Structure 1
């Protein structure tokens, strides 16, 4: 089965269930071979995810996946929080992370550079405004559609 189709199907099953539990689906990953693999579901909520949240989602979603059976072979199923360096994928992720330190990789160079680290200053009109770390407060605007990957940076 095509990995993208599988991940999309798991998202279709998981999203309404998670919403009803007050949780957000952050990401679904499937890694492995055609005979066995690992399905990882990353969840989050305001204030952070508890072990109880992960156990509940694991139990409910496992039952739903058994019924729908989108993965026809043996697989390992894991549910966890996205961690401190969570990926930023949706527009809401960026809006919610204003003021935080992030790392952005672009699909095409901007000012001869593809990787930027700094403080997320704003997200509006489909643009991320970032105060660059190495630029001593210099701001850069990155169009949302040019972001290949973005993550929160861990701060101590």
Structure 2
């Protein structure tokens, strides 16, 4: 079974479990590093999530993972918060982090630029929309090389 199918199967059992605990499952990644398989689940809630909540969710998730086809039986499960400079990987994250400052780098110039920093307005008609002091910018989703939360220091 492909790792994408395993991720989808894990998401199907993990999302309702997260919701029951007042959390939102933002991302699931299943990857091999050397001989070991890792399953990374990113959870959040308004106001943030604590390490204790991540640990409790991991413990609750462990028994339900036994029924996921294709998941390595010795998988290392990591449950974490998105972090301050989280890379946005899926549409759910573009929605969840609406209103936050983001940095978007593009594969090709958009509006004559390849880098945008501003407030994430979300996804609209296949475009990432951000606003800055110059106004609103629509960046085609397929032009986005990387988008991440932006932390001013």
Band of TM-score, shorter chain: 0.7 to 0.9
State the TM-score, normalizing by the size of structure 1.
Answer: 0.78
Post-superposition offset of 1:31: 1.8
- Runs of 4+, deviation exceeding 6 Å: none
TM-score of the aligned structures, taking structure 2 as reference length? 0.79
1:152 and 2:142 are equivalent in the alignment:
no
Secondary structure of the structure 2 residue equivalent to 1:19: helix
Aligned residue in 2 for 1:138: 134
Give, in angstroms, the shift of residue 111 of structure 1: 3.5
Gaps of 5+ in 2: none
SS at match of 2:66: helix
Aligned to 2:83: 83
Note the residue ranges of structure 1 that are not aligned, 5 or more in a row: 132-136
Q: Give the Cα separation in 1 of the matches to 2:36 and 2:93.
A: 34
Contact 1:35 1:74 in 2 (8 A): no
Deviations for 1:43-85, whole angstroms, at most 9, x for unmatched residues? 1001110122111110111110023354134221111101001
Query: Is 64-73 or 75-84 further displaced after alignment?
Result: 64-73
